[in-house]
Structure 1
Amino acid sequence: MLSNIRPLLIALSLGAALALPAHAQQTAAVATAPAATVAAKPAPRTAKATVNALTPGNYVIDVAHSHAYFFISHLGVSRFMGRFDDIKGGFVVGQKPGDSLVNATIPVSSINAKHQKLEDHLKSADFFDAAQFPNMSFESTRVRWNNRGEGVLSGNLTIHGVTKPVDFALKVTGAGKGPRGDTRAGFEGNVTINRSDFGMNYGLPRIVGDTVEIALSIEGILQQQ
């Protein structure tokens, strides 16, 4: 009796395996493969290696892969997010972090709030007043980062015709080659400001909050010397 059961179990197992879809058979094969046959993932690049991969030189901001977001309270019940879709300018990666520079301009007309009437209101004299102040700008006064790629980007931020010193929390996010062989470098920056400091007081304090968080993700392309 037992001698008849074993061949039957083998046949049932083989039939079930053959009935599986091809992708399931492949998954099962990987699951049962010896550990030595599974390829190990490459070790992630360390922060120090990322910093060391930065190539000194002049970079132009790649607008297609750079973003400027802002976050602000609406009616005290939600955290509204908007963005600007056009960032012009560039930066210099120095031989030392302190030799680096940043200069960027954002047209107010590029604001994106996913709602045309809201965008028109934000461009009006109640907020950014794009007709009188068409651009926001930032010019660095000091740049520094450590071996972990973390540091501070200090400079003058101009919004609504008012210029104030600010300190962005800075992070080196990557460096390397693009698909066409160009050299690229990436950074993130975050800062919190009060819009009333820049003369934007509409809706305070009930409708729209005063505190604004700005988050930047910038990718630049090294220019040929």
Structure 2
Amino acid sequence: MAQLTAGTWNLDNSHSEVNFIVRHAGISKVRGSFNTVSGTAVVGENFSDAKIDVTIDLASINTRDENRDGHLKSADFFDVENHPHMTFVSTEIKDVDGDEFTLVGDLQILGNTRQVELKGEFGGETVDPFGMTRAGFEAKGEISRKEFGLTWNAALETGGVLVGDKVKIEIDASFVLSSDDA
């Protein structure tokens, strides 16, 4: 992997996306995103020693359907009133091979914490026209929503359930090197 500059990197929410995909009625997929995400990556001498800490505002969920978004914010799903955030804290970066790696960390939803692994790719580091040092990453993975206490569902007349258990996660992240480290 090309060396990433050591220092504290701040997530650039306006140039990052946290998306998810889940099966609906067993026949199609619903795609959504979270519009408000914050976080840092603290990088030392080696990228594999980096510590990543991300917070997602669950009230910022967007599936392009206001009624569905409202239901997802309710106690049936994310219970945003009592659990406003989802968090991810890295515990390990392993299997670094070129620009690809595995990001391991603790994901917390509804107060339930589970270890997850995301397949990551380093997009590079550059200085933008405004003099800010940027780094880009992609990460993908899959979780079981039931493992986090997201168990609401409805049975279908034809068998099966309305909402699938497996949720695919796709992240495009842009980080900016802190001005203290630039």
Count of matched residue positions in the alignment of Structure 1 and Structure 2? 175
Question: RMSD of the alignment, in Å?
Answer: 1.3
Residue 98 (str. 1) matches residue 25 (str. 2): no
When residues 190 and 129 of structure 1 are mapped into structure 2, their CA distance, relative to the original with a 3 A threshold, is same
Aligned position for 1:150: 100
Residue 219 (str. 1) matches residue 174 (str. 2): yes
Structure 1 distance, partners of 2:94, 2:124, is: 16
Deviation string, structure 1 residues 170-216 (Cα, Å, up to 9, x no partner): 11012101120110111111111100001111116511000001111
Runs of 4+ in 1 over 6 A off after TM superposition: none
Aligned position for 2:133: 183
Could you state the TM-score of these two structures normalised by the residue count of structure 2?
0.91
Unaligned runs of 5+ in 2: 155-159
Aligned position for 1:40: none
Q: In the TM superposition, what is the alpha-carbon distance from 1:147 to its structure 2 partner?
A: 4.8
Asked whether the equivalents of residues 93 and 103 of structure 2 are also in contact (C-alpha less than 8 Å), the reply is yes
Q: In the TM superposition, what is the alpha-carbon distance from 1:146 to its structure 2 partner?
A: 2.9
SS of the residue 1:221 aligns to: strand
1 or 2, which has the higher helix percentage?
1
Structure 2 counterpart of 1:156, one-letter code: D
Q: In the TM superposition, what is the alpha-carbon distance from 1:73 to its structure 2 partner?
A: 0.2
Unaligned runs of 5+ in 1: 1-47
Could you state the TM-score of these two structures normalised by the residue count of structure 1?
0.75
- The higher-RCO structure (CA 8 Å, 6+ apart) is 2
**Which structure would you say has the larger Rg?**
1
SS of the residue 1:58 aligns to: strand
Q: In the TM superposition, what is the alpha-carbon distance from 1:99 to its structure 2 partner?
A: 1.8
Deviation string, structure 1 residues 46-77 (Cα, Å, up to 9, x no partner): xx5xx23x222110000000100000000011
Structure 1 counterpart of 2:113, one-letter code: T
Q: In the TM superposition, what is the alpha-carbon distance from 1:145 to its structure 2 partner?
A: 5.4
Aligned position for 1:7: none
Structure 1 counterpart of 2:82, one-letter code: Q
SS of the residue 1:197 aligns to: helix
Aligned position for 1:210: 165
1 or 2, which has the higher strand percentage?
2
| Equivalences for residues 6-17 of structure 1 within 5 A | none
